[in-house]
Amino acid sequence: MIGLKIAEGREAEVFAWQGEAAVLKLYRPGYSGHFAESAALGQLEDSGVAPRLIDVVQIDGRHGLVMERLVGTDMLALLERQPWRMFALARMFADAHVLVHSVQAPELLDVRQLLATRIEGAVARPELRDFALRILEGLPSGDRLCHGDLHPGNVLVDAGRVSVIDWTNTTRGVPEADYARTMLLLERADPMPGTSLLFRGVMAAGRSAFARAYSRTYRKHSRDPLRHFDSWVIVHTAARLAEGIEVEEPRLLAFLDRAWRRAAC
Ligand SMILES: Nc1ncnc2c1ncn2[C@@H]1O[C@H](COP(=O)(O)OP(=O)(O)O)[C@@H](O)[C@H]1O
Ligand SMILES: [Mg+2]
């Protein structure tokens, strides 16, 4: 039975479900992220790094996933409240990501396909879009689970346990594709709406230190090669320009423009 609403985002509302043990993520009409999310949670069944999927339901014509209810606080809120834990949290965040990348998900959409679609819809000059699409064509495919939106707001921390949520953008690919997307989010994405002014200031100072600590641990603990990191960052930057986050656009466009000019020389 549906209980109280716990949270809501652009794509879905999250409710308590049958007491304390589970939550229902109910997608808004017209959203179909439940396909990727249920496939990913199925692959992650025994990994301990994501909530357990309990059921797939339809309520009033809307798709819903019933999943294990996690206790804990999201890592963004923890960073705000306990900034002195930043380095330890960055290491936990990186280790969770390495674990995600050890999982195979051959039946999911190829990350390159998703990126191509987004780049075609990016708010950028045609030559910048073509530049990113040409780079994308040269990048390899892979069969590893890629979260697609891994940032501290999508990680819940309960004592020592780290759980990754929000698997609606999940695809398959080489791990470094997903690592590059997270680096882009950590270094250049806008803090989420609702972030306090004070925390925006702290974040501006702390985000590159968090990104560096994440990157160090990820590179140390991952067995997968990083061969085309700069290219993946370029294609993710172009694709991000299709997400409609206007405040980021000047920064992302300037980065893309510099990469385009460098390649033209
Ligand atoms: N399995 C879960 N257990 C407890 N809380 C959850 C769970 N899944 C989601 N939530 C809560 O709901 C919020 C939104 O969920 P999320 O999957 O990130 O969707 P959105 O697409 O709206 O960001 C999370 O930040 C978290 O507070
Ligand atoms: Mg989320």
The CATH number of residue 162's host domain is 3.90.1200.10
Which of 80, 150, 156, 243 maximizes ligand 1 atoms within 8 Å of its Cβ, making it the mutation to test the pocket? 156
**Domain boundary, last residue among 12, 37, 68:** 68
Do 81 and 49 reside in the same domain of the chain? Answer: no
User: What is the percent of the chain where pLDDT is above 70?
Assistant: 96
Do 100 and 28 reside in the same domain of the chain? Answer: no
Do 49 and 168 reside in the same domain of the chain? Answer: no
SS3 173: strand
Residue 23 has pLDDT above 80, yes or no: yes
Residues 182-189: what's their mean pLDDT? 92
Output the CA–CA distances (angstroms, integers) from residue 175 to 40, 68, 248, in the order listed.
Answer: 15, 26, 25
Task: Give the closest residue to 163 by CA, choosing from 254, 75, 59.
Answer: 75
Q: Please measure the distance between the N-terminal and C-terminal CA atoms of the chain and give it in whole angstroms.
A: 62
Residue 60 has pLDDT above 60, yes or no: yes
Residues 136-159: what's their mean pLDDT? 96
Do 24 and 155 reside in the same domain of the chain? Answer: no
Say which residue the tokens 């249920």 belong to: 38
Give yes or no for residue 244 CB within 6 A of ligand 1: no
Do 119 and 250 reside in the same domain of the chain? Answer: yes
Residue 193 has pLDDT above 60, yes or no: no
Q: Average per-residue pLDDT in the chain?
A: 93
* Measured distance CA(175)–CA(203) in Å, rounded: 26
Q: Which residue has the higher pLDDT, 188 or 102?
A: 102
Q: Which residues pair with 157 in a beta bridge?
A: 73, 162
Q: What pLDDT is attached to residue 131?
A: 98
Q: How many domains does the chain contain in total?
A: 2
Query: Please, where are the H alpha helices in 59-137?
Result: 75-81, 86-100, 111-120, 126-137
Cα of 178 to ligand 2 centre, how many Å? 16
Q: CATH no. for residue 47?
A: 3.30.200.20
Domain span at 247: 73-264
Do 61 and 103 reside in the same domain of the chain? Answer: no
Which of 67, 166, 170, 243 maximizes ligand 1 atoms within 8 Å of its Cβ, making it the mutation to test the pocket? 166
